[in-house]
Amino acid sequence: MNLSFKKIFLILISITLFTTSSYADQEKTYKKLKIFTDVLDEISKNYVDPVESDKLIQMAISGMVQNLDPHSSFLTPSAFKALQDDTKGRFTGIGIEITMRKGKLIIVSPIEDTPADKAGLKAGDIIFKVDGILTDTMTSEEAVNKIKGKKGTSLVITIIRKEVPEPFDVRLVRDEIPNDTVKYAYIKQGFGYVSISNFNENTTEDLEKALRKINQKRKPLKGLVLDLRNNPGGLLNQAIKVSDLFINRGIIVSIRNHAGNSNQVWQAHKRTNGNYPIVVLINGGSASASEIVAGALKDHKRALILGTTSFGKGSVQTIKPLRGGYAIKYTIARYYTPKGTSIQALGIEPDLYLPYKRLKKSEREEYGLRERDLKNHLKAISKKPTSVKTKIKNRFGLSTENLLRDNQVSRAYEILLGQSIFQQR
């Protein structure tokens, strides 16, 4: 055994013996670590090609962490920096959230208005190859590094999709991924629409601005459609703050460690943005932080949940910086909704199940023949000036017509409108 491996072995032994609780555990761990160093030594001496010991150790650590669960990983300095940039909303790529599940690289959701979204990639798509290289042997970090790159550069990914019989290629050009996580629009008759694409450090502040602007256009707000579809999650503290905007009191979320103890509980504060009814939209691409928001609003009966079952990521990760610029991202707890429900691998069930469908213009209109279509029909006489219907667009290009051709948004609006009518009566 060479000197570097001996040093590694002694360090591992000292750390392990310090943290284990009994002599029997120490002895068992000692034998396993000895096997580990034997393997390192054997490969470094006799493998067909030269392999650097640093690379072997990094691969061993990466494998150890990644095999814990799909969301834990060992981060190199470059990967750690990229992750920090992601949470600040500054990065280039194609705009997807991915996870590794049973050796398959799966798209959790595409981010709206990104190359992936415009190319038609969907939640649940399996990335079979990246530039012709199979992904089944890649770690999550390797896949991310392969997909990300400089703005303007291109890549080809091969997709396996459930309803498509053969894998197919999609060519994409990398671009800056927008850091505006909140988009908003005024639907009509006092109802607003807000979409949150992911949760970064600016999300709550941007949401508060959006709600103020919607109220300025037509006040007071009678109801809100909160769109969390294809929202892969993000920062836990932002999910809590967003939930806190709509809930007066009570638990927002709690997390428990491996012993099942309730380590932390986050409570709501009385600072809500009005008591108007809310319909939350979710689907299979709604994961993690977006499920925390949907779960909190559902359990408090603050919102009606509409759409399809969410992704089911009910775990919490933390990032521990290490020496040399490395870091480890690993799962520390499961989170629970206010009623104490874990949605891990189950997802949040909507109150109203409604699969997505893009409505044709004709489907938004009633049966075509009307009195006004008859030849020589009498004209209406009104003392009031005829109102002019206008499309209200915000800076993101959302319009009432396009929003209401989304059947889930349309149904949410109809629910809010119906409730408002009954309240008035």
Q: What is the pLDDT of residues 369-405, one digit of tens each?
A: 567 767 777 887 765 544 434 344 454 557 888 899 9
> Letter for the amino acid at 153?
T
| Domain shared by 154 and 209, yes or no | no
The per-residue pLDDT for 377 is 73
| Domain shared by 101 and 12, yes or no | no
Beta carbons of 281 and 412 less than 8 angstroms apart: yes
| Domain shared by 201 and 314, yes or no | yes
| Domain shared by 208 and 149, yes or no | no
The per-residue pLDDT for 89 is 60
- Judged by DSSP in three states, 63 sits in helix
Over 70: is that where the pLDDT of 19 sits? Answer: no
In this prediction the pTM is 0.80
What are the CA-CA distances from residue 9 to residues 129, 157, 326 (Å)?
37, 41, 20
The per-residue pLDDT for 385 is 46
- The winner for highest mean pLDDT among 137-151, 330-344, 372-386 is 330-344
Find how far residue 157's CA is from the centre of its chain.
21
338 by Cβ neighbours in 10 Å (0-12 / 13-18 / 19+) ranks as: buried
Over 50: is that where the pLDDT of 1 sits? Answer: no
Per-residue pLDDT averaged across 109-116, rounded? 86
Mean pLDDT of all residues belonging to the chain: 85
Task: Return the higher-pLDDT residue of 201 and 3.
Answer: 201
259-272 pLDDT, tens digit per residue, is: 766 689 999 997 66
Out of 303, 321, 353, a domain closes at 353
Is 290 contained in some domain?
yes
25-50 pLDDT, tens digit per residue, is: 777 888 888 898 899 889 989 999 99
Question: To 5 degrees, how large is the angle CA 74–CA 78–CA 84?
Answer: 85
For residue 194, give the H/E element and its range.
strand 191-196
User: How long, in residues, is the chain?
Assistant: 425
Q: Side by side, which strands form the sheet with 182-188?
A: 182-188, 191-196, 223-227, 278-282, 303-307, 352-353
Could you tell me which of 390, 385, 388 has the C-alpha nearest to residue 401?
390
Which CATH number do you get for residue 147?
2.30.42.10
| Domain shared by 196 and 154, yes or no | no
The per-residue pLDDT for 107 is 92
Give the C-alpha separation, 110 to 230, whole Å: 7
Helices (H) and strands (E) in the chain, counts: 11, 19
Per-residue pLDDT averaged across 202-228, rounded? 88
Over 60: is that where the pLDDT of 222 sits? Answer: yes
Is 246 contained in some domain?
yes
Helix 53-66 / helix 23-46 crossing angle, nearest 10 deg: 130
> Letter for the amino acid at 362?
S
| Domain shared by 199 and 346, yes or no | yes
The per-residue pLDDT for 390 is 37
Is 83 contained in some domain?
no
| Domain shared by 103 and 232, yes or no | no
Over 60: is that where the pLDDT of 3 sits? Answer: no
The per-residue pLDDT for 393 is 46
Model confidence at 295, pLDDT cuts 50, 70, 90, reads very high
Is 208 contained in some domain?
yes
Of 117, 227, 299, 406, the active-site residue reads: 299
Out of 319, 353, 387, a domain closes at 353
| Domain shared by 284 and 326, yes or no | yes
373 by Cβ neighbours in 10 Å (0-12 / 13-18 / 19+) ranks as: exposed
Is 373 contained in some domain?
no
Return the structure tokens found at 162.
Answer: 């459930």
Give the C-alpha separation, 22 to 20, whole Å: 6
Task: Return the higher-pLDDT residue of 374 and 240.
Answer: 240
Residue 299 is a catalytic residue: yes
Of 313, 329, 406, 410, the active-site residue reads: 313
Which runs of consecutive H residues, i.e. helices, occur in 52-202?
53-66, 77-87, 115-118, 140-147
Task: Return the higher-pLDDT residue of 395 and 338.
Answer: 338
| Domain shared by 213 and 337, yes or no | yes
The per-residue pLDDT for 108 is 86
Residue 288 is a catalytic residue: yes
Over 60: is that where the pLDDT of 11 sits? Answer: no
Per-residue pLDDT averaged across 3-28, rounded? 59
Model confidence at 4, pLDDT cuts 50, 70, 90, reads low
Beta carbons of 94 and 147 less than 8 angstroms apart: yes
Question: To 5 degrees, how large is the angle CA 178–CA 179–CA 181?
Answer: 100
Give the C-alpha separation, 152 to 311, whole Å: 31
Give the C-alpha separation, 331 to 315, whole Å: 7
| Domain shared by 206 and 341, yes or no | yes
Is 424 contained in some domain?
no
The residue written with tokens 């000692």 in the block is: 30
Model confidence at 340, pLDDT cuts 50, 70, 90, reads very high
172-203 pLDDT, tens digit per residue, is: 999 988 778 899 998 987 899 999 999 999 99
Please give the residue range of the domain that contains residue 318. Answer: 182-353
Is 364 contained in some domain?
no
Give the C-alpha separation, 339 to 253, whole Å: 9
Beta partners for residue 161, in sequence order:
none
| Domain shared by 206 and 333, yes or no | yes
Over 80: is that where the pLDDT of 158 sits? Answer: yes
Is 358 contained in some domain?
no
| Domain shared by 267 and 340, yes or no | yes
Over 70: is that where the pLDDT of 92 sits? Answer: yes
> Letter for the amino acid at 54?
D
Give the C-alpha separation, 97 to 78, whole Å: 18
> Letter for the amino acid at 257?
N
Return the structure tokens found at 356.
Answer: 């997505």
Of 243, 288, 315, 410, the active-site residue reads: 288
The residue written with tokens 């013996």 in the block is: 17
Domain count, the chain: 3
Over 70: is that where the pLDDT of 360 sits? Answer: yes
Out of 337, 353, 369, a domain closes at 353
